[in-house]
Amino acid sequence: MTTDNPTTPSDTGHRYTSELAGRLELRWQDRWEEEGTFDAPNPVGDLAPDTAQLSDGAKYFLMDMFPYPSGAGLHVGHPLGYIATDVVGRYRRMRGDNVLHALGYDAFGLPAELYAVQTGRHPRETTLENIANMRRQLRRLGLGHDPRRSFATIDPDFVKWTQWIFLQIFNSWYDDDLNRARPIDELIAEFENGARDVPGGAVWADLSAAEREEVIAGYRLAYISDAPVNWAPGLGTVLANEEVTADGRSERGNFPVFKRRLRQWNLRITAYADRLIDDLDRVDWPESGKLMQRNWIGRSHGAQVQFAVPGIDEPIEVFTTRPDTLFGASYMVLAPEHPLVEVLAADAWPAHTDTRWTGGSATPAEAIAAYRARAAAKSDVERQENKEKTGVFTGAFAVNPVNGEQIPVFIADYVLMGYGTGAIMAVPGHDERDFEFAQVLGLPTPRVIDGEGDLPFTGEGPLVNSSNAEISLDGLSVAEAKQRIIAWLEEQGTGQGTTTYRLRDWLFSRQRYWGEPFPIVYDEHDTPIALPESMLPVELPEVPDYSPRTYAPDDVESEPEPPLARATDWVNVELDLGDGPKTYRRETNTMPNWAGSSWYELRYTDPHNTERIADPANERYWMGPQEQRRPNDPGGVDFYIGGVEHMVLHLLYVRFWHKVLFDLGYVSSEEPFYRLFNQGYIQAYAYTDARGAYVPADEVVEAEDGTFTYHGEPVQREYGKMGKSLKNVVTPDEMYETFGADTFRVYEMSMGPLDVSRPWETRAVVGSQRFLQRVWRLVVDEETGNARVTEDDLDSATLGILHRTIAGVRADMEELRFNTAIAKLIELTNHLTKQSVSARGALEPLVQMLAPFAPHLAEELWERLGHDATITYVPYPEADPRYLVAEEVTCVVQVQGKVRGKLQVSPDIAEDALTEIALAEPNVVRTIDGREIRKVIVKAPKLVNIVV
RNA sequence: GCCGGGUUGGCGGAAUGGUAGACGCGAUGGUCUCAAAAACCAUUGUCCGAAAGGGCGUGCGGGUUCGAGUCCCGCACCCGGCACCA
């Protein structure tokens, strides 16, 4: 529908059109780059200023979550967070802070590899192209980044340090007594000199090298284990727990995930469970986010209790959070896979065994085998779908340590091998799951806690029926009883207080090509050996095929086969690792995509350092604890913006690595991110036709009755993500073209609060453009292009509005309320426009306050107002309290809480005088209608409420 | 099921317990124009009324208060996380 507009007189180049905006935006972007406007100086190293000192301003380290350079390019939703951090950074610079803001790229990962598999092109090649494209799209936004500090995780220089950190983790162990990680050499020394007993009672000196390494592997923070892992045949790789959704599928690709026993690398994140929970109290994060991490780590306090089984050496060990209900334990359940099951299973059913307990089998062994086979055939999903309790009796009885009672031992799949000890004492009277099971199998349900309500009763109440010859819990509260019984169990040696976590160790190897190789080789005994730092980085070999072997998504029997295994020349390598040249075999798994993002915050502080991850002086300056600002400060990045979806994965991993590096003395900060903010998302509508196929959203029209049509055909509207396949993508490039980057930035910031998701609406963007055009017209004469500024004094109305705006906008900026800050700037602009104010005293502060949002326009206007230097470091306007008080305020007069009149009064009017005027207001008099006035509430000068 | 967050005009959203709907979009009317676009000006929660003014309005039901979108209790729905975790 577009027609070529003839050039009108007003279109001669002095109007703030998208075309003019684009011209001046490019000009300022070039100038910022040339002048290094956003370069942040370091205390030491190559980025330290030549002239000795840093500015005296406070440091402010600002970060966005690492972007993945997608081949699809950006849509308008992606820059939301980048614009917000840029606004913060520009505001802080005007507040005098030394701001560090840069952006790197998280460039290893599955999409690039999948694309490489499809096209045969090397993922490095396509990834670098994508990075270049994304850099171009983001540069056009006018972000105030320090370009010298940008990097990508695939840079060999970065990979080197990722591998180096892995080696530090590999060469460390967690000292539970000192509650920190220590170098593995110190552990070996303790074994050697006898300060620490070797587990299993062996003598260190008598062990072979391989045996010693096996012992040490039990301590290393990075270790290989042969344990059940999440195997996704459809992806051809194993996954961490965090990468598997609640319904048992891969987060990426949505493939079914199976539990398989496989030899894989793990990182001992569980050693840090307590600190990862406790230190959440020291950071400024959204409470909801902290909660997600606390829940994921899942710390629960309770007790381990040993139940003896007559005739068996080893007792059954259970974990319970309710040791207070021990007297109510009427049976036990082991997970089907529990190693003790074979040991304690009876040869035959005891006499009079309930037929519900036997599963119809002739012997316990048979029943167990049948039950196990059925459980193993079920995927995690099926296990969850069917929550009806099932189980079989083992034929064995265990002894309840508090009352000597013999209680039956079952196996049932509602007890999970992976949590606690894989065995429970069942208290059907006070646990819903145990109660259900007891109902199914006809087991007794004794009550040991009094209270209103039927069994199962999980509430609070005094203990009953809980005493033996030595101890009585009767009458105690749940909390008291827990304490008492734990003490008694410890005394008896049949149990102890303990803490259990839901968190598992981090499965750290993947069968992928496009990731960091492990700096590990194996010798002839299959012992993993760390490569020396001098051999880093270990670079990826060229391979003919980038794909791991993938299988049918439900092929449970399949085996992982990493692509690097096929690079045999690379895998088998001759090295001299101190015992002369020998042939070694390289590790063929690669690190997960989370590796690079687990430490990248540190690299921004010293991106080119070849000797260390970052010089301690630089790390300390940008990230060190700020004790003078807040007590017990863990340090970290001052402000980090990103999406909630990284709350559990990335943010748990990065905190873990940071703490390891802290323990080993490489960093001074205990937490990577002091303040975290989760931004919302820009959502979009998508439309499907009668067949359910997506139709281009920008060609859908809304009818009068609120329905939607595409080419005359009715379509269904849905709301959600923006995406290529949904045919509803709007790109920043389109916005630059149609409106300019400043308009786009202002629109995104004015749409609503930063943490709330909201729908994109292209046609609403014009409102922001109109606003910027009005600002432009205040400063520039559209006919001549000259500045219109005058040196007039401000009238009192303008003074008042200006200073109230400054005060309000400043407060909004501090609290990230950019939408209301912009609204206030629009109000000021509208006032100046209506009153035709062109006084410098009003225009300059407006331009200054606009600068964080529309930096190019602000620079241009600042220059036209007669300033040579960039507006970036011009101090932010300050409100003069003298002008904050209006000459007149509106007083609302209410009768019975309803507004019946308004008065213009002086702000310092006395209450009596105000009451008098209010009672005289004609409409108020009419409403009162002669009724008796019972009470008058006066909040001078804003409100009078008359109660009749 | 458990935990967390939310529900305000046609739409996005504003509101220290004190004028509900700032600001913006859209819509309607107007200025300019041969015309259109752009820009600018005005109106715009809803109902009654010519107007003055009034009734009703922040998911639903109660409560506290002179006064509640805001505080308390109960409920519905939506979004997110976890889910047989002992």
- Rg of chain A on CA atoms, in Å: 35
CA–CA separation, A683 and A758 (whole Å): 6
The predicted-structure confidence for A126-135, as pLDDT tens digits, reads as follows 999 999 999 9
Whether the full predicted model's pTM is greater than 0.95, yes or no, is: no
Helix axes A766-779, A855-864, angle to 10 degrees: 10
- Cβ–Cβ < 8 Å for A679, A749: no
Give me the CA A472–C1' B11 separation in Å, rounded: 66
Q: For all residues of chain A together, what is the average pLDDT?
A: 91
Among chain A residues 618 through 657, which have CB within 7 angstroms of nucleic chain B?
644-645, 648
- Whether A381 has a pLDDT exceeding 90, the answer reads no
- For position A53, what pLDDT does the model report? 63
CA–CA separation, A282 and A143 (whole Å): 31
CA–CA separation, A263 and A771 (whole Å): 62
* Nucleotide of closest approach to A942 (CA, C1'): B18
Scanning the structure block, which residue is given the tokens 């850099």?
A: A135
Scanning the structure block, which residue is given the tokens 């059925």?
A: A374
Among chain A residues 283 through 322, which have CB within 7 angstroms of nucleic chain B?
287-288, 291-292, 295-296, 298, 300, 302, 319-322
Checking phi first, is residue A311 left (phi over 0); if not, alpha (psi -120 to 50) or beta? left
CA–CA separation, A947 and A929 (whole Å): 12
- For position A13, what pLDDT does the model report? 72
The predicted-structure confidence for A354-370, as pLDDT tens digits, reads as follows 999 998 899 999 999 99
CA–CA separation, A455 and A453 (whole Å): 7
Q: What is the mean pLDDT of residues A779-801?
A: 90
* Nucleotide of closest approach to A823 (CA, C1'): B23
CA angle A756, A760, A765 (to 5 degrees): 110
Q: What is the mean pLDDT of residues A645-664?
A: 95
CA–CA separation, A903 and A892 (whole Å): 7
How many Cα atoms sit within 13 Å of A262 on the Cβ side?
26
Q: Is the dihedral of CA A588, A589, A590, A591 positive or negative?
A: negative
Q: Name the DSSP class of A769.
A: H
Nearest residue: Cα versus C1' of B24: A767
Query: Long-range contacts: A439-445, Cβ < 8 Å, 24+?
Result: A439/A389, A440/A356, A440/A388, A440/A389, A440/A390, A440/A391, A441/A354, A441/A356, A441/A357, A441/A391, A441/A410, A442/A354, A442/A356, A443/A330, A443/A331, A443/A408, A444/A330, A445/A330
Q: How much of chain A exceeds pLDDT 70, in percent?
A: 97
Among chain A residues 47 through 66, which have CB within 7 angstroms of nucleic chain B?
none
Q: A102-112 burial, b if ≥16 CB within 10 A, otherwise e?
A: bbbbbbbbbbb
Among chain A residues 853 through 882, which have CB within 7 angstroms of nucleic chain B?
none
- Whether A778 has a pLDDT exceeding 90, the answer reads yes
Q: Is the C-beta atom of A669 closer than 7 angstroms to strand B?
A: no
- For position A428, what pLDDT does the model report? 94
Confidence band for A400, pLDDT divided at 50, 70 and 90 = very high
Q: What is the mean pLDDT of residues A566-590?
A: 93
Q: Is the C-beta atom of A774 closer than 7 angstroms to strand B?
A: yes
**Which nucleotides on strand B sit less than 7 A from a protein beta carbon?**
3-5, 11-15, 18-20, 22-26, 36-41, 53-55, 66-68, 80-86
Q: Name the DSSP class of A69.
A: -
> Within 10 Å of residue A789's Cβ, how many Cβ atoms?
20
Among chain A residues 215 through 254, which have CB within 7 angstroms of nucleic chain B?
245-246
Confidence band for A180, pLDDT divided at 50, 70 and 90 = very high
The predicted-structure confidence for A557-568, as pLDDT tens digits, reads as follows 788 888 999 899
Please name the residues in contact with A263: beta carbons below 8 A apart, sequence gap of 6 or more. A224, A225, A226
Q: What is the mean pLDDT of residues A95-110?
A: 95
- For position A4, what pLDDT does the model report? 35
- Whether A328 has a pLDDT exceeding 60, the answer reads yes
Helix axes A818-834, A840-850, angle to 10 degrees: 160
- Whether A9 has a pLDDT exceeding 60, the answer reads no
Nearest residue: Cα versus C1' of B10: A706
Q: A746-774 burial, b if ≥16 CB within 10 A, otherwise e?
A: bbbbbbeebeeeeebebeebeebbebbbe
Confidence band for A933, pLDDT divided at 50, 70 and 90 = confident
3-state secondary structure of A626: coil
List Cα–Cα distances, A552 to A549, A560, A888, in angstroms. 10, 12, 76
Nearest residue: Cα versus C1' of B65: A897
What is the spatial order of strands in the sheet that A316-320 belongs to? A316-320, A300-307, A495-500
Confidence band for A464, pLDDT divided at 50, 70 and 90 = very high
- For position A1, what pLDDT does the model report? 29
- Whether A52 has a pLDDT exceeding 70, the answer reads no
Lowest mean pLDDT of A72-86, A702-716, A854-868, name the range. Answer: A702-716
- For position A245, what pLDDT does the model report? 81
- For position A888, what pLDDT does the model report? 82
The predicted-structure confidence for A503-532, as pLDDT tens digits, reads as follows 999 999 999 899 999 999 999 989 999 999
Confidence band for A165, pLDDT divided at 50, 70 and 90 = very high
Q: What is the mean pLDDT of residues A529-556?
A: 89
> Within 10 Å of residue A82's Cβ, how many Cβ atoms?
23
CA–CA separation, A565 and A547 (whole Å): 11
How many Cα atoms sit within 13 Å of A295 on the Cβ side?
9
CA–CA separation, A713 and A707 (whole Å): 11
List Cα–Cα distances, A325 to A300, A308, A497, A862, A934, in angstroms. 16, 18, 14, 74, 61
3-state secondary structure of A134: helix
Q: Is the C-beta atom of A414 closer than 7 angstroms to strand B?
A: yes
Q: Is the C-beta atom of A826 closer than 7 angstroms to strand B?
A: yes
- Whether A120 has a pLDDT exceeding 60, the answer reads yes
Confidence band for A12, pLDDT divided at 50, 70 and 90 = low
Among chain A residues 910 through 939, which have CB within 7 angstroms of nucleic chain B?
923, 927, 935, 937, 939
CA–CA separation, A557 and A172 (whole Å): 35
Confidence band for A385, pLDDT divided at 50, 70 and 90 = low
The predicted-structure confidence for A421-451, as pLDDT tens digits, reads as follows 999 999 999 999 999 999 999 999 999 998 8
